[in-house]
Structure 1
């Protein structure tokens, strides 16, 4: 009887050492079944390590309980997307969806989990950084995508769907690209602020540049009830650091920021025109809202060159600005910004023109920014523009851009002006404000 059951179970699936161990556990299960007793803890642990096929054979013979399981996808892309959907605890699942999208573009089809090799993962990594054949991502961004796929495939190992992780061991470069850093000084900040189309956008800019908030995650979560006007401070809800037990922090209500919030409060009338716990920023409630494209339009209208990672630049500029004053201890600034000193030194603090001036005593005028690609070049009167540019048009545009209504101080009794449309192909990515 024991031999027949062992043959049914398929001990030939094991190697010699494992087969001897399996024989011992199977005979124990048969003996316990005859005595109507539960298996020992040692055998229960062994059962958990068995492949699902062999475990099913044991349960069919009533030697153990049926293993409860859900049917999981057995292909790479389907498994990743199912895993992403199951992570309801993630604040930004779109980051992982984007990684899966890049992998799908490269593979061109879904493949079995067991067919994904490390070599294929290596080629995908190089493809992402190839500007000719791939999207031309930076090493940091491509490395982040590999890191996310590695995490998802680790779960597939835990589900015993694959034995090794094809993304493990790929050398990735996650160093911050300092070439994209921009310091938005006071003059540039004032220029951009005055070009904002309405009070909501002035407040969005002020929260990022003077409040140092992550945008959009922290900016869009601010409520009127979070602002303590009398105490000169406000509460910031920080989804990025929530998993570290730091989901909230208290930030000073800086004078530059308070002025903009006060003007918006006059228009919104919290407690009268809207609930007192309503969001400060009413628009862009969708997590997929594209703030960066609209912000770039504002920057261009201000006559300032568009700069990469704009919201990150605003936050980094504020940290650098406050660090230079020497008025606040490092741990205080870390508390206000919601990051560590190491993160600040790596991603935020910058060397500015003011530092060189202070060191040498030589004044050097700081341009507002790198000139915009669409800025008007000097063309003799009557001469055609060789690139087909007309005043106020971006290179390659055939129509004049949607006009923007600029006002330094919108009427406190007037309605908010709607944001203009935008035809830019640039997309907002959560990495812009990821730190």
Structure 2
């Protein structure tokens, strides 16, 4: 339970989510373990506690159909917002850290690839960046953004050109992209889903895993196949439809001689 103060000064007790409890117990166990190493204490009261790892809440999973994504893209107010959404849904980028890290120098138009810098995984060996295809779905929006930016970018001296970001807006730490996306959805009358940006990324992870070898899909999105299985890949309605489809020419039972 956690306490919350109301405007009148009274305290209201609020039940914490299971993962929040696990996370805090894990922090406590780690804190006391460090205290034992420093010999501040002789015993860790959380040392024997099990099950403090975070578990994926699959009840909040949601698969965003391409038709719904198209409706949202149509209502985006400008090119940069279209690109934010397109790279989230069809590029599988982590919003907003990977969007804001993307520079024009990272876009390899000739080979159809982009270098994605990932602040979230840069502390892991080889996790500072990855190369992904310029998928056909977000490419038109990337081209539109380049058309608007290229005159200014090409006029820069090489040193400044190497620093030119694809996204020049929404760079303020206080920019709340989730709130703005909810406003876009209000215009489309689409139902908003839990974990707005995470589910866009997970949807793309699921699509890629269905189309390419699992190690390729995981590499492009910058996570391991184990993480993908636990947190991203889903069974979709299309999977059930494909598996239960009746063949045009049903298999005939083998004749018994």
TM range (shorter): 0.7 to 0.9
Q: Tell me, which stretches of 5 or more residues in structure 2 are unaligned? A: 5-11, 247-257
Match of 1:220 in 2: 100
Match of 1:192 in 2: 72
Q: Relative to 1, partners in 2 of residues 1:287 and 1:179: Cα closer, same or farther, differing over 3 Å?
A: same
Q: Which of 266, 270, 273 is residue 147 of structure 2 equivalent to?
A: 266
Counting only pairs closer than 5 Å after superposition, residues 289-300 of structure 1 correspond to structure 2 as: 289-300=175-186
Q: Relative to 1, partners in 2 of residues 1:186 and 1:165: Cα closer, same or farther, differing over 3 Å?
A: same
Counting only pairs closer than 5 Å after superposition, residues 254-333 of structure 1 correspond to structure 2 as: 254-269=135-150, 270-272=153-155, 275-276=160-161, 277-325=163-211, 328-333=212-217
Match of 1:400 in 2: none
Distance 1:142 1:317 in 2: 28
SS at match of 1:249: strand
Q: Tell me, which stretches of 5 or more residues in structure 1 are unaligned? A: 1-101, 107-131, 363-435
SS at match of 2:123: helix
Q: Which of 217, 238, 253 is residue 354 of structure 1 equivalent to?
A: 238
Distance 1:318 1:307 in 2: 15
> How high is the TM-score relative to the length of structure 2?
0.81
Retained in 2: the 8 A contact 1:139–1:173? no
SS at match of 2:120: helix
Distance 2:174 2:29 in 1: 25
SS at match of 1:230: coil
Compare CA radii of gyration and give the structure with the larger one. Answer: 1
Distance 1:311 1:146 in 2: 27
Greater RCO, 1 or 2 (C-alpha within 8 Å, sep 6+): 2
Shift of 1:167: 4.4
Retained in 2: the 8 A contact 1:235–1:248? yes
Q: Relative to 1, partners in 2 of residues 1:301 and 1:233: Cα closer, same or farther, differing over 3 Å?
A: same
Q: Which of 82, 85, 96 is residue 205 of structure 1 equivalent to?
A: 85
Match of 1:143 in 2: 22
Retained in 2: the 8 A contact 1:139–1:172? no
Distance 2:175 2:209 in 1: 32
Q: Which of 226, 233, 246 is residue 342 of structure 1 equivalent to?
A: 226
Higher strand share: 2
Shift of 1:258: 1.4
Shift of 1:346: 1.1
Retained in 1: the 8 A contact 2:115–2:130? yes
Distance 1:256 1:263 in 2: 13
Retained in 1: the 8 A contact 2:97–2:118? yes
Task: Provide the alpha-carbon RMSD of the alignment.
Answer: 2.5
Retained in 2: the 8 A contact 1:316–1:348? yes
SS at match of 2:121: helix
> Alpha-carbon deviations, 1:83-132, whole Å to 9, x = none?
xxxxxxxxxxxxxxxxxxx98x58xxxxxxxxxxxxxxxxxxxxxxxxx7
SS at match of 1:296: helix
Retained in 2: the 8 A contact 1:218–1:236? yes
Shift of 1:166: 4.6
Question: Does residue 155 of the first structure (1) align with residue 34 of the second (2)?
Answer: yes
Distance 1:333 1:307 in 2: 24
Retained in 1: the 8 A contact 2:26–2:53? no
Shift of 1:358: 1.1
Distance 1:200 1:166 in 2: 51
Aligned residues: 232
Shift of 1:159: 4.0
Q: Relative to 1, partners in 2 of residues 1:352 and 1:225: Cα closer, same or farther, differing over 3 Å?
A: same
Question: Does residue 172 of the first structure (1) align with residue 52 of the second (2)?
Answer: yes
> How high is the TM-score relative to the length of structure 1?
0.49
Distance 2:173 2:58 in 1: 27
Q: Relative to 1, partners in 2 of residues 1:359 and 1:256: Cα closer, same or farther, differing over 3 Å?
A: same
